[in-house]
Amino acid sequence: MSQRPAHRRAAERQPQLAWLAFGGAADQAWLRPLRRGFRHCFAVLHDTDGWTVLDPLSGRLLVVRLDLPQGFDLPAFYRRSGLAVLGPYVPAAPRASWLPPLLPHSCVAVCRSVLGPQAPFAVTPHGLYRRLQENAGNRKKVLTQA
C-alpha cells in the first residue's frame, strides 16, 4: 500500500498540463521597478476535470477551480486579455532534496514550484519568462513541453 497522500496518487493517474501567464500592473509600490507587463505571474493547470488557477497574491495564495464549459481555451482567453502566456508544460515529479528553497515566497517561486525541480532559476517574472523562452528555443529542453 502506498504511503503517499490521496491527492498525489490522483495527480499521477490524472496528468496535468500547466501554463504560466505574465502581466500585471504595479498595484504595490515595490512592484514599480519591475519591467512593465511582467510585474506578476501565475499558473493555470488543466486536467480532465477542468481548469485550476494558482495566483500568488500579496500575502495570500489564491487557488480557484473555474467553472468553465468543456473545451474552453483559457490560455487563449488570457492572451486575448493582453497577458503573455507560455506553455503547455508537463509538471515534473517532485524530487527529494536535503536543501530547502532559499528564495522567499513570491509569484515566481510558486510558478517554478508548479513546473517542478527542473524549472529554470529566476527571481523576477520577466527573468522567468525570458529563461523559459530561451529553453523553448534550445534543442536540450529543461522542461518537457506537451
- Closest alpha carbon to 88 in 47, 131, 120, 138: 47
Enumerate the domain spans of the chain: 15-137
Ranking 46-55, 113-122, 134-143 by mean pLDDT, the lowest is 134-143
Residue 92 — very low, low, confident or very high, per pLDDT cuts 50/70/90?
confident
CA of residue 100 relative to chain centroid, distance: 20
Identify the H or E element spanning 114.
Answer: helix 107-115
Looking at the whole model, is its pTM more than 0.85? no
Give residue-wise pLDDT tens across range 20-52.
Answer: 999 987 677 777 788 888 999 999 999 998 999
Cis (ω within 30 of 0) for the bond into 15?
Answer: no
